[in-house]
A = this chain, B = another copy of it.
């Protein structure tokens, strides 16, 4: 499951760079694209969309400023492709989750692991923060994120909760009406991490476990 999330090979690369199959030219093009996206992620998450300078993105990627425009038509496109390229691999994972047959507390535990390892401990947390920050100014992006991630995630959560209720693992089905409640601590973790960690470090794993313990009853072993 985690593998699906961290998979990087399948992402779409620019058409321009792929006319030769496996040629060194094409490979280099793909690498450049990746380098630009990586640099862009760092600059955008450090300064936000507006304040980030393409000059810095280029310098960080070790290329000339004009080169960016060989891969992305403008700053906004670069930003949107960045978000998409990081979000897309998550989507497949979400589909999986709702199909797993296991006690709900175990699924929750897997979610904790996955979330910490693939979001909190990677730059993906920054992407999510960027969506929160810039979403209102990029309605297309918010819609994409809602469609590809949020609605599927909530659907998966609902399915899991339903099965838990059927199996009698969950007496109270109140939270099924607001699946957001289950994920809320994850959002807190991301925001806390970015803003307040230096004042008061937060043990994300422990917090999420406490949350699920409270929701579903104690312990992984249960």
Report A's interface with B, CB cutoff 8 A: 45-51, 129, 131-137, 142-143, 145-147, 150-151, 172, 174-175, 177-178, 180-181, 183-185, 187-188, 191-192, 194-196, 199-200, 202, 206-207, 210-211, 213-215
Interface SS majority for chain A? helix
Flag if A194 contacts B129 (CB, 8 Å): no
CA distance A150 to B183 in the complex (A): 20
Q: Which residues on B sit within 8 Å (CB–CB) of A178?
A: 185, 206-207, 210-211
On chain B, the residues within 8 Å of A50 by CB distance are 48, 50-51
B181 touching A211 by the CB < 8 A rule? yes
Expressed in whole angstroms, the Cα–Cα distance for A3 and B202 within the complex equals 33
- Chain B residues near A191: list those with CB within 8 A: 132, 187
Interface centre among A133, A147, A175, A211 (most CB of B within 10 A): A133
- Which of B45, B146, B187, B210 touches A196 (beta carbons < 8 Å)? B146
A143 to B198, CA, bound (A): 9
In whole angstroms, how far apart are the Cα atoms of A12 and B112 in the complex?
Answer: 45
- Check B194–A207 contact: CB distance below 8 A: no
Chain B contacts for A195, CB-based, 8 A: 131-132, 135-136, 142, 145-146
Report B-chain residues with C-beta under 8 Å of the C-beta of A45: 136
A141 nearest CB neighbor, chain B only: B195
> Which residues of chain B have C-beta atoms less than 8 A from A145's C-beta?
195
What chain B residues lie within 8 Å of A132 (beta carbons)? 129, 132-133, 191, 194-195
State the CA gap A143–B187 with chains docked (Å): 19
Taking CB atoms, residues of chain B closer than 8 Å to A151 are 199-200
CA distance A183 to B188 in the complex (A): 9
Q: Are B172 and A214 in contact (CB under 8 A)?
A: yes
How far apart sit A106 and B183, CA to CA, in the bound complex (Å)?
A: 25
Pair A181/B210 contact, Cβ less than 8 Å: yes
